[in-house]
Structure 1
Amino acid sequence: MQSFMLGAYWDARRDTLDTCVEKAARFFAGMAEIDPLLAQWYEKGRSRKDALTKKVDILDRKRLEELLLKGRNRTDVGREIIDDLGFSIRLWNGASQEEAEATVGIHCGCYSERVGNNVIIDLPCQSESSPWVSKASSLLALVAETWRPKWAGIMSERAMRERDFSSHPFVDWMVYVPRPIAAVPSPGRIETLDGLGSIIVVQPDPPLGADSEEASRIRQVERLLAA
């Protein structure tokens, strides 16, 4: 069973703390609607038992604000806040089974030209109510609508290890770009997000990484996005 992650990336953007809290609140609420495994979150702890005592109320915006402030970067000497590196938060879903585990990390409000912003979700290998194949594009759309990234994708950890992840946007199972896309190779499809761009679903099922036709489709989409 392959592990997949969602990654969304954007350049320097000086979002305020209030803006980051607002977006994070909408994002967590949206994830909860997509799948029960993404509906509850915990702070990381010294151990699994410790983390399970640190449940986060995702509806409490004051709590989200505290966590984003807690995640600010500080200097090694003097522990002074580095303002241009923005805010961050990283949570775990507390699942009791390994295949149901998920983590989410948000780095927003960073306006350093050397460091970008991102949202990273390590996805569970299963869904409680239906397969991830039917939910992944909804999650990608939520990320695009909430965070307005430069690009975002859902990709296997295997693909990231074996191919050049420095080439962006990285194409594997699904990829979002903030522009219209007219057509993609069959059996891929395009989901148009009104005013926001396009999600390209390269193929209906998650790629296995060992099929020549699958690799050919990925290369075709890469060329399409590079044009």
Structure 2
Amino acid sequence: MDETYYLGAYWGARKESAKECAARTEVLFASLASVDPSFARWFQLGKSRKEGLKRSIEPRSQDLEKIISRGRDKVVEELGFRFSGWNGAPDDRDASAFDVTCGGYSARVSNFWLFDLPVQGPSADRVLTGSILAGLLRATAVAWEPDWGVVLSHSHRDLVEPHRVPRAPYIGWVTYLARHRGTVPPLPAPVHIEPVENKGTLIILTPERFTVSNPEHVSLAERVRGLLERGGLLEP
């Protein structure tokens, strides 16, 4: 079975209006086409593929605000807004989708942006590389200013979850840590470190596809996690 991957960016309570969330989404969408052409168009979810393809998401702030406003929690306002979409790829295994909760200011929930990434096909062949995923996480970090973010396989997450400190960042194929967490220390080769404006740091473990079937990859991730933990960068 193919190893499947996702991108997640997470931040704590941050009260933002639908307009403010729309402005951040517009910034993200404006940069996605330059990351990969499969991220150039997005659609709202429908009851069927045919219906969804009729519901194109226009990447303009005023249009996004209308969509986001419809996703407000009707009972508890402090839970923020929830909305989602997909890129309309003809093959579901080669499709990407997103899910977001934003504007929440309750300690009971976390704000997040998630990308489900393609599994198999021409888009997957392009996207599932260290450079493209670094670009995708960079764009997400610039737009949403999360506390941390990660590109991680579900298999790797399941492997490390039993030993993870609750609510602490995962260390994955590509990891983003906000600047306020501290300075990233020197890390072993082939790990590559990139600044994200003045907001934080990207950590790319390997340019090749990270897989849990490769013990060297898993060992490298654990070694980097240990160094960052000792440096105080992985506090919950």
Q: TM-score, normalised on structure 1?
A: 0.90
Q: 1:213 to 1:128 in 2, by over 3 A?
A: closer
- Displacement of 1:148 in angstroms is 0.9
Q: Which residue of structure 1 lines up, in the alignment, with residue 229 of structure 2? A: 226
Any idea what SS the aligned residue of 2:195 has?
A: strand
Q: Which residue of structure 2 lines up, in the alignment, with residue 100 of structure 1? A: 94
- Displacement of 1:153 in angstroms is 0.4
C-alpha separation in 2, matches of 1:188 and 1:162: 21
Contact kept? 1:35, 1:128, Cα under 8 Å: no
Question: Which runs of no fewer than 5 residues in structure 2 stay unpaired?
Answer: 231-236
Percent of pairs with identical residues: 30
Per-residue deviation, residues 139-193 of structure 1 (Å, max 9, x unmatched): 1111111111111000112212333064621112011101331311111111122
C-alpha separation in 2, matches of 1:104 and 1:131: 15
Greater helix percent: which structure?
2
- Displacement of 1:25 in angstroms is 0.6
Q: Which residue of structure 1 lines up, in the alignment, with residue 149 of structure 2? A: 152
Any idea what SS the aligned residue of 1:43 has?
A: coil
Q: Which residue of structure 2 lines up, in the alignment, with residue 132 of structure 1? A: 128
Question: Which runs of no fewer than 5 residues in structure 1 stay unpaired?
Answer: 76-81
C-alpha separation in 2, matches of 1:128 and 1:37: 9
RMSD in angstroms over aligned alpha carbons?
Answer: 1.8
C-alpha separation in 2, matches of 1:93 and 1:131: 14
2:80 to 79, 82, 86: 86
Q: Which residue of structure 2 lines up, in the alignment, with residue 78 of structure 1? A: none
2:110 to 108, 116, 120: 116
Any idea what SS the aligned residue of 2:19 has?
A: helix
Any idea what SS the aligned residue of 1:213 has?
A: helix
C-alpha separation in 2, matches of 1:55 and 1:204: 33
Single out whichever of 162-171 and 205-214 deviates more from structure 2: 162-171
Q: Which residue of structure 2 lines up, in the alignment, with residue 79 of structure 1? A: none
Any idea what SS the aligned residue of 2:123 has?
A: coil
C-alpha separation in 1, matches of 2:54 and 2:22: 23
Any idea what SS the aligned residue of 1:74 has?
A: coil
Q: TM-score, normalised on structure 2?
A: 0.87
Q: 1:55 to 1:131 in 2, by over 3 A?
A: closer
Q: 1:131 to 1:25 in 2, by over 3 A?
A: closer
C-alpha separation in 1, matches of 2:11 and 2:185: 23
- Displacement of 1:88 in angstroms is 2.0
